[in-house]
Amino acid sequence: QVHVEESGGGSVQSGGSLRLSCVSSGHTRSNYCMGWFRQTPGKEREGVAAIDSDGHTSYAESVKGRFTISHDNVKNTLYLQMNSLKAEDTAVYYCAAGRSVLQYGVCPLYPNNLWGQGTQVTVSS
């Protein structure tokens, strides 16, 4: 089971930037993906961005051109650079590992995926 720990959230004004980090451990597969997700109260968790072991990336339409996902294989750390932040980006952000490379742009999570604590991002307008 892959364990993750997110950090880097905070409060910024609209138009500002933040970089989220996610340290992971327990990977056993050479082909895998990692993804960032976010959730606001009363709404389902949604995918934001994903990257796989082949270097392919995918983004939600709402963040394309503003967010960049990357992964440091040596440090086992996933990043999400968020620029031009908007109030609607306010959410708790989570990372998770998937069991294969991206499938049609989607990172398929393990059935027993264990979500971390997440990191709060608050954007004020």
> Tell me, what DSSP letter sits at residue 117?
-
Neighbours of 122 (CB within 10 A): 15
Mean pLDDT score of the chain, rounded to an integer?
A: 95
Q: Are 53 and 32 in contact (CB under 8 A)?
A: yes
Which residue, 30, 9, 19, 122, is CA-closest to 77? Answer: 19
Which segments of 44-116 are extended strands (E)? Answer: 46-52, 57-59, 67-72, 77-82, 91-98
- What are the tens digits of pLDDT across the range 55-105? 999 999 999 999 999 999 899 999 999 999 999 999 999 999 999 999 999
Give residue 109's identity as a one-letter amino acid code: L
Give the mean pLDDT of 44-48: 96
pLDDT at 28 over 80: no
